[in-house]
């Protein structure tokens, strides 16, 4: 029988296993040399100055909010089409999340709407923006940075879907997601469905040294052992807890896995793009099937190769029918995302269905098809066949 086909899946190689075993046989299970090695390699991969490895992507978001001093007075704009953690991190610190609707073509935070929101409030009303490179589609951060500078805002880029993704700025320069040139902080996740898998894991990248130092402090209980930063020094045992931090560390074992996976990141990305091109070709003339436009295509550029294809999303009117049809054939497509503002928690804060019509319409039609480097050609053709079968015949 055919194996079930999920929408996303990790790939663990012999080299990955060997790397983890080597760490198990070395001196450190946690906070050894592999954490720093993974951070350095990741910073280099995305082109940022600093990287801080943490327990998971949600911890990364929380640490960013802490480093940016989010508190009860802070209002932050984000997209409803994201994993809820992008918004929750502000709530952890007591701040207010203000959702803004998405662009109907790219399903990314709608810059024009954000501009209108900023201009309709007094200066200082909003403190920051959390754009999301949704599905691997890189946000044009240059545009958002200009807006943020006009209104004195910080930017946390949720780049969980886009390690290796990039966009071209107005000079035609390639700008990697998470490179720190536009966002103050960028975050990544190493959950198994993401490009690089460590089981649980996350990373923050930045070019800002002051923020970097705060992240290090908050990652480990707010404690420092750096004599230069301490207020007192009682002897070699001495350390100081200077802030209320957390234990958001990631162990060496997992960093060994991440470091090994990172060596194959470009290979995986190339395969994801090839899978996307095959889907594009197969569906381009199928009436009743829509796709999510890339940001580059929406801007009229021919080259959309900066898309990191965490997801390949189609839009179809009878989404539930197609979802069930695929399931009957053991193809486990997924829906990304249920708009965050419609979750009971956010409804209790005053949001309701109808607030963000573009996001809600998108949600009613979207389906993420299998997209991962080890998806075989034969499996992908089977997926395509079953999608077309349903769209043509309704069965």
Ligand X SMILES: *Cc1c(COP(=O)(O)O)cnc(C)c1O
What residue ranges bind ligand X (CB under 6 A)? 56-58, 82-83, 85-86, 132, 158, 160-161, 189, 191, 202
Contact 140, 168 (CB under 8 A): no
Nearest alpha-carbon partner for 135 in 112, 114, 165, 176: 165
Q: How many C-beta neighbours within 10 Å does residue 334 have?
A: 18
Q: Which residues contact 307 (CB under 8 A, 6 or more apart)?
A: 135, 136, 137, 138, 165, 273, 276, 294, 296
Query: Residues 121, 174, 194, 388: which is the catalytic one?
Result: 194
**Residue (57 or 268) nearer to ligand X, CB:** 57
Nearer to ligand X, 35 or 391 (CB): 35
Q: How far is the CB of 188 from ligand X (least distance, A)?
A: 8
388 is catalytic: no
Instruction: Tell me whether residue 56 or residue 111 sits nearer to ligand X (CB atom).
Output: 56
Cα(367)–Cα(335) distance, integer angstroms: 5
Least Å distance between CB 190 and ligand X? 7
Which residue number, 57 or 180, has a Cβ lying nearer to ligand X?
57
Choose among 168, 200, 190: nearest CA to 181.
Answer: 168
Cβ nearer to ligand X, comparing 155 with 387: 155
Distances (CA, A) of 336 to 86, 166, 233, 365: 14, 21, 51, 10
Q: How far is the CB of 308 from ligand X (least distance, A)?
A: 12
How far is residue 298's CA from residue 301's CA, in Å, rounded to a whole number?
7
Give the CB-nearest residue to ligand X. 57
**Strands 174-176, 166-168: parallel, antiparallel or unpaired by DSSP?**
antiparallel
Task: Pick between residue 151 and residue 161 the one whose CB is nearest to ligand X.
Answer: 161
| Least distance between ligand X and beta carbon 376 (Å) | 25
In this complex, which beta carbon is closest to ligand X, that of residue 86 or of residue 260?
86
Distance of alpha carbon 108 from the chain centroid: 12
CB of residue 120 to ligand X, shortest distance in Å = 27
Q: Which is nearer to ligand X, 34 or 86 (CB)?
A: 86
Start-to-end Cα distance in the chain: 21
Q: How far apart are CA 39 and CA 45, in angstroms?
A: 10
How near is the Cβ of 316 to ligand X at its closest, in Å? 22
Asked if residues 239 and 267 have their Cβ atoms less than 8 Å apart, the reply is: no
Q: How far is the CB of 325 from ligand X (least distance, A)?
A: 26
User: What is the smallest separation between the CB atom of 83 and ligand X, expressed in angstroms?
Assistant: 4
Active site residues: 194
């Amino acid at each position: 029988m055919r194996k079930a086909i999920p929408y996303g899946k990790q790939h663990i190689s012999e080299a990955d296993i060997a790397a983890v075993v080597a760490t198990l046989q070395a001196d450190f299970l946690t906070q050894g040399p592999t954490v720093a090695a993974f951070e350095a390699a990741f910073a280099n991969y995305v082109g940022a100055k600093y990287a801080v490895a943490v327990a998971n992507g949600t911890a990364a978001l929380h640490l960013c909010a802490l480093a940016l001093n989010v508190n009860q007075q802070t209002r932050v704009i984000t997209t409803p089409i994201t994993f809820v953690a992008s918004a929750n991190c502000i709530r952890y610190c007591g701040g207010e999340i203000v959702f803004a609707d998405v662009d109907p073509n790219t399903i990314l935070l709608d810059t024009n709407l954000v501009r209108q929101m900023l201009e309709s409030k007094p200066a200082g009303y909003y403190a920051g923006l959390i754009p999301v490179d949704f599905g691997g589609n890189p946000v044009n951060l240059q545009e958002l940075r200009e807006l943020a500078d006009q209104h004195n805002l910080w930017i946390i880029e949720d780049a969980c879907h886009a390690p290796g993704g990039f966009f071209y700025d107005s000079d035609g320069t390639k700008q990697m997601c998470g490179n720190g040139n536009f966002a103050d902080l960028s975050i990544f996740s190493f959950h198994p469905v993401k490009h690089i898998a460590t089981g649980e894991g996350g990373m923050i990248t930045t070019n800002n040294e002051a923020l970097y130092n705060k992240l290090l402090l908050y990652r480990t209980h707010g404690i420092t052992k750096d004599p230069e930063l301490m207020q007192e020094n009682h002897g070699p045992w001495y350390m100081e807890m200077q802030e209320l931090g957390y234990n958001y560390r990631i162990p060496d074992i997992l960093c060994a896995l991440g470091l090994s996976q990172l060596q194959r990141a470009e290979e995986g990305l190339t395969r994801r793009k090839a899978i996307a091109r095959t889907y594009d070709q197969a569906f381009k003339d199928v009436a009743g099937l829509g796709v999510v436009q890339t940001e580059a295509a929406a801007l009229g550029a021919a080259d959309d190769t900066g898309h990191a294809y965490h997801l390949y999303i189609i839009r179809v009117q009878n989404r539930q029918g197609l979802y069930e049809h695929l399931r009957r054939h053991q193809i486990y497509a997924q829906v990304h995302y249920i708009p965050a503002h419609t979750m009971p928690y956010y409804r209790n804060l005053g949001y309701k269905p109808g607030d963000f019509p573009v996001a809600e319409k998108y949600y009613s039609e979207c389906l993420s098809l299998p997209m991962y480097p080890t998806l075989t050609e034969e499996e992908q053709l089977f997926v395509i066949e079953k999608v077309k079968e349903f769209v043509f015949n309704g069965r």
